[in-house]
Amino acid sequence: MGEFGIGQPVRREEDPYLLRGQGRYVGDVALPGELRAVVVRSPHAHAEVVTVDTEAARAMPGVVLILTGRDAATAALGTQRPHTRRTRRDGSPAFVTPQPMLATDRVRHAGEAVALVVAETLNQAKDAAEAVVVAYAPLPAVPTLADAIAPGALPVHDGCPGNDAFFHALGDAAATELAIAGAARVVRRRLTISRVLANPMEPRGCLAEPDPRGGRLTLRCTTQAPHTLRRILAGEILRMPEARLRVISENVGGGFGARGQVAPEYALACLAAKLTGRPVRWTADRSETFLSDEHHRDNISDAEIALDAEGKVLALRVKTYANLGAYYGADRAAGPPLNNLGVLAGTYVIPAMRVEVTGVLSNTMVTGPYRGAGRPEAAFVIETMMDAAARALGLDPVELRRRNTIPADAMPFKTALVYTYDCGDFGKNISDALTLAEADGFAQRLADSRARGKLRGIGVSSTVEASNGGLIEHADIRFDPGGSVTVSVGTHDHGQGHQTTFRQIVADRLGLPADQIEFRYGDTAEVDIGTGTFGSRSTVTAGSAIVAAADKIIAKATLIAAALLEADPADIAFADGRFTVAGTDRGLGLAAVARASFTPAKLPKGVDPGLFESHTSDGGVRTYPNGCHVAEVEIDRDTGVVTLARYAAVDDVGRMINPLLVEGQIHGGVAQGAGQALMEGIVYDPSGQLVTGAFTDYAMPRASDFPPILLGENEVPTKTNPLGVKGAGESGTVGALSAIASAVADALVRIGAEPVTMPATPEKVWRAIRAAAS
């Protein structure tokens, strides 16, 4: 509707109050009588817990409660469990390893929680935590994925020799083997996808408040999925009815998938609040964030791509080892390496494919979803293999991609794995992105770099991803007697701009001014049903639910308007927020109809008072955002420093509700993909100690690390949902990781150097340059 309708670049209305410091984060809420909690964590990556002595700590000033894993109250807590049945290679059930809230007999990663100390003040809790004496008997650790899959590797858990928790396979193994055996050229590579940490600005934290009436609890916490957290925390861990646990998550300082973690500290804070009868607050410091937030990625993939003499891809085979960390106790660890394997098919015609994934245990923090959640990893594999194949055949990488790209007129296209792309024009993405990137001028820019003693490389990634996994989402539209409307959704807004986006949808559908629309989310007491925000799903699912609820509003309001206008409902038309009688100038605005709906005497027979409707979407079918990203890097020969010199991208995210917010999402995704490609990496030493445990050791990109990011769009709306949207939240990371890694490899290959494993740190690049020179 007007400047606030669908397709308009409306600025995020959330920004002004956030920039003024008027947000409402967990730390902004203070409750009377709050207690402070501190976690005692293991300094060992692997050790037996011999004794936990809390006697001296309990006697210290201000201490109210200390919990250990061997206390009856803690032992009574449940644990998470995977709900998707998985098996090992021999067909036996997956090796499931539930993680206790507090370790009892053994710790399996540095930073694992051993005790919880609750005191009147934070400093008193810290002092008492230092007085807790834990006797450990250290054991040998398995600190890396390579160590965990090595022949004769030590087991992380008794009963799991080889450390393989599960095995998963897709595709036709026989057809793939046959194609590879008969191919003119087969290219093989071992690819490493590094371990990273999301590092949101707001550290993980919570505030648990008991309510003695019926044993209720309220938990304020940093989560991007309040309803999912409530379901797991109440049903599996606290073992209480969901209705008695209220989860509130207002503003959250960054999510990126990591804030879907159902953390032990949340359950412990709830238990402590119940036992003390007082509110209990726990907040991680930055060191704890590195130790106890879920880590991400960390895969090793052995890939083979087979081609004929003309450069047509015949088959792709990939065997991936995915590091789950110390426990396989929830679906989150298995999600990233398994749920998006279809992305390996890419935008290409690949007749035969076989993919195998082994989930591997190690003495490290557990892994979970991070922006893209398997999509960037899969895109990196297929795009790196396309580059490697092009070099092996002596072809330009873009030309090889064009020879194998799925044509637009082939849609819908069923891949050799699990996806059927409903629409898209992948070839146009490539052409438009190369034009936007001024790729024709690369040769001159390469010559200019060489004249200054620099290396230069260009990387192209043509990717497609899957979004919207079919989980339910809810929307509720309620008019009040004054004619204003409140829209409530189960998805969460932690920076995406949903408050603006969803208001645009409502304003467009119902023809209402934006200032008459109130938006609510993030409180399970206000919105009964929901799943959460992740995987670029919110506009597809919640947006579709809003449309359906709005259509119900219009249908009911049409009956009321007909009665008020003394006309047949069939003669009532609705447009731009107004009901009119066909062929006349008589009409009523929707707000006026809403106000009348609360007066029973004005309603037609059989119509209930009030104007409020809801809809729960089943999540619909998958959508397939896609795009082409082009990156250029320049490398200093003497230092190995990589500079991202140019960046351009053309994405198809379907119909854009708000192009400005789509741009913002892609910019943020590119930054996170660039971070992993060039500098970010979690590192453990041989004993399992975390080396990158602070920002002095873990590098993240700054604004000064980026050139202008040029964006274009190739808007191909999908017909699988009423809005035609596909999702935009992951696109930047999916394209950037592979495009930037490709550009670095291109620069090195031009001087005969070997590509480096991510992140392409100055040291790695410098060593590769020196090795090539010698």
- The pLDDT tens digits for 434-450 are 999 999 999 999 999 99
Tell me the C-alpha distance between 295 and 364, whole Å: 9
For residue 190, the cross-strand partners are 302
Pairing status of strand 63-68 against strand 185-196: unpaired
| Pair 635, 734 in one domain | yes
Residues 214, 219, 220, 224: is their CA dihedral positive or negative? negative
Q: Burial, 610: exposed, middle or buried (Cβ in 10 Å; 0-12, 13-18, 19+)? A: middle
Same-domain pairing of 555 and 695: no
612 shares its domain with 516? yes
The whole-angstrom separation of Cα 129 and Cα 625 is 48
DSSP 600-643: GGGSPTTPPSS-EEEEEE---S-B--EEEEEEEEEEETTT--EE
CB 212 within 8 A of CB 186: no
Q: Is residue 295 part of a domain?
A: no
Is residue 519 situated within a structural domain?
yes
Residue 246 lies in a domain: no
Same domain for 611 and 576, yes or no, is yes
CA distance 153 to 301: 19
- Residues contacting residue 443 through CB under 8 Å, at least 6 positions apart: none
In 10 A of CB 133, how many CB atoms?
A: 13
Q: In the numeric block, which tokens belong to residue 145?
A: 């994925």
- CA gap 772, 289 in Å, rounded: 39
Cα–Cα distance measured from residue 549 to residue 615, given in angstroms and rounded to the nearest whole number: 5
Task: Count the alpha carbons within 13 Å of 583 in the hemisphere toward its beta carbon.
Answer: 4
Distance, in Å, from the CA atom of 324 to the CA atom of 492, rounded to the nearest integer, reads 26
598, 617, 636: which is the final residue of a domain? Answer: 617
In angstroms, the CA 134 to CA 422 distance is: 58
Q: Are residues 492 and 459 in the same domain?
A: no
Residues 6+ apart with CB under 8 A from 182: 314
> Are residues 755 and 627 part of one domain?
yes
Rounded distance between C-alpha atoms, residue 282 and residue 555, angstroms: 48
428 near 583, Cβ under 8 Å?
A: no
Strand-strand pairing, 280-283 and 35-41: parallel
Distances 433 to 63, 171, 712 between C-alpha atoms, Å: 61, 31, 7
User: Are residue 750 and residue 634 in the same domain, yes or no?
Assistant: yes
Within 13 Å and on the Cβ side, how many CA atoms surround 430? 23
Rounded-to-integer distance, Cα 259 and Cα 93, Å: 29
646 shares a domain with 602:
no
> What kind and span of H or E run contains 41?
strand 35-41
What values do phi and psi take at 286, rounded to 5?
-65, -35
CATH number of the domain encompassing residue 482:
3.30.365.10
Compute the distance between CA of residue 26 and CA of residue 259 in angstroms, rounded to an integer: 13
Specify the DSSP class assigned to residue 10: P
The DSSP bridge partners found for residue 323 are: 360
Name the domain boundary from 557, 586, 617: 617
**Does any domain span residue 714?**
yes
Mapped onto helix, strand or coil, the DSSP state of residue 688 is coil
What is the DSSP-derived secondary structure letter of residue 380?
H
Residue 492 belongs to domain spanning: 2-22+472-617
Number of domains comprising the chain: 2
Instruction: Report which DSSP code applies to 536.
Output: T
Tell me: the pLDDT tens digits for 272-331? Answer: 999 999 999 999 999 999 999 999 999 999 999 999 999 999 999 999 999 999 999 999
- Same domain assignment for residues 572 and 498: yes
d(CA 740, CA 21): 35
Is the dihedral angle over the CA atoms 103, 199, 263, 683 positive or is it negative? negative
The label of the residue with tokens 């991007």 reads 224
Q: Residue 627's beta-bridge partner residues?
A: 463, 651
Q: Kindly state whether residue 372 falls inside one of the protein's structural domains.
A: no
Q: Which residues have a Cβ under 8 Å from the Cβ of 123 and sit 6 or more positions away?
A: none
* Residues 564 and 670 occupy one common structural domain: no
Q: Tell me if 568 is assigned to some domain.
A: yes
Q: For 240-261, how does the pLDDT look when each residue is reduced to its tens digit (9 = 90+)?
A: 999 999 999 999 999 999 999 9
Is 544 among the domain residues? yes
Token pair, residue 626, equals 């896609």
Report residue 672 as tokens.
């996170």
pLDDT at 1: 45
Looking at residue 2, its pLDDT comes to 57
Residue 754 neighbours by CB distance under 10 Å: 12
Q: What is the pLDDT of residue 214?
A: 81
CA separation for the pair 585, 607 (Å, rounded): 26
Spatial contact of 569 and 559, defined as CB atoms under 8 Å apart: yes
Tokens representing 319? 């065997």
* DSSP at 295: B
Domain edge (last residue) among 558, 591, 617: 617
pLDDT, position 329:
95
Query: Do both 661 and 532 map to the same domain?
Result: no
Q: HSE of 538 in the Cβ direction (CA atoms, 13 Å)?
A: 26
Tell how far CA 416 is from the center of its chain. 26
- Residue pair 506/549 in contact by the 8 Å Cβ criterion: no
Within-domain flag for 290: no
Do residues 457 and 525 both lie within one domain?
Answer: no
- Give the Cα separation of 422 and 408 in Å (integer): 10
Average pLDDT for runs of 10 along the chain of length 774: 77 87 93 98 98 97 97 96 94 95 97 98 98 98 97 95 96 98 97 97 96 91 94 96 95 91 96 98 96 97 97 98 97 92 96 98 97 94 98 97 98 96 98 98 98 98 89 93 92 85 92 89 90 84 93 96 93 93 92 94 93 90 96 97 98 94 95 97 97 95 96 95 93 96 98 96 97 92
DSSP 8-state code for residue 451: H
